[in-house]
Amino acid sequence: MAYKFVDNYREKGARKQLVKFLKEVRKIGDQRVLDAIAKVPRHYFFDETFWIQAYRDIAFPIGDGQTISQPYTVAYQTELLHIQKKDRVLEIGTGSGYQTCILLELGAEVFTIERQVKLYERTIKVLPHMGYNAHFFCGDGSNGIPEHAPYDKILVTAGAPFIPEILLKQLKIGGLLVIPVGDEKSQLMTTILRVAENDYEKVSLDTFRFVPLVGDQAW
Ligand code: SAM
């Protein structure tokens, strides 16, 4: 894919429209999340031929059978995370790296893992070029990254068949996991708060459709 990093009035205008849509139609209420979306040039993750698609509220193929998540989904998951500056966040499923940039804009320290080598190789080049620096890993994130635990937040950006116990153990007390859980066709967005060493509070929210989380503690 040929990348071009030009952000002119056309893309900036389209981005503003997307933010307005997310606020007014999709009811995203966290202004910090909206501000982050207003800042990150989503078209940088698309081939120039498809720039027109970058500011529509749709998921889009990024190669290797994977997708860049729909802006609404990114906003929804980010809002649930309540990111605070310096939060240590584990993101499972780097994909394009767009969601990673949103987390970085909010001041998080991001550990992000992708199992597809080509996507990983692309993000380790593209994100630093855009000025976004995360800790990048390639491999099966369904086991988390225990060597860098504990995390304040863990975000899973692919659909899981169950909640991996191993991820819960990598949360700080007071830490939060956001994970879509269900079958291949639809998943319920689920949050799990670690309230004490062995005590968790689980909440199931809206239905989404993600690509599958594939791995040891997954499909
Ligand atoms: N948030 C990403 C973005 O904005 O581009 C979207 C990610 S895409 C919906 C889900 C990603 O999870 C895919 O790139 C897929 O390869 C990855 N994935 C699936 N199972 C995984 C696993 N066990 N470990 C790491 N990544 C995984």
Q: Which domains are present in the chain?
A: 58-208 (3.40.50.150)
Residue having the nearest C-alpha atom to atom 13 of ligand 1: 95
Element (DSSP H or E) covering residue 73: helix 71-81
DSSP of 155-216, one letter per residue? EE-SBBSS--HHHHTTEEEEEEEEEEEE-SS-EEEEEEEEEETTEEEEEEEEEE--PBP-ST
Respond yes or no: is residue 69 known to be catalytic: yes
183-191: average pLDDT: 97
Report the predicted TM-score, pTM, of the whole model to 2 decimal places: 0.97
| pLDDT of 3 strictly over 90 | no
| pLDDT of 2 strictly over 80 | no
Residues with CB under 6 A from ligand 1: 66-69, 74, 92-93, 95-96, 98-99, 113-116, 119, 140-142, 157-158, 210-211, 213-215, 218
- Give the residue among 3, 15, 87 at the shortest CA–CA distance from 46: 3
For the CA of 96, the nearest atom of ligand 1: 5
Distance 121 CA to ligand 1 centre (A): 14
| pLDDT of 151 strictly over 90 | yes
pLDDT in tens, 64-121: 888 899 999 999 999 999 999 999 999 999 999 999 999 999 999 999 999 999 999 9
- Is residue 1 very low, low, confident or very high in pLDDT (cuts 50, 70, 90)? low
pLDDT in tens, 196-208: 999 999 999 999 9
Burial (CB count within 10 angstroms: exposed 0-12, middle 13-18, buried 19+), residue 65? exposed
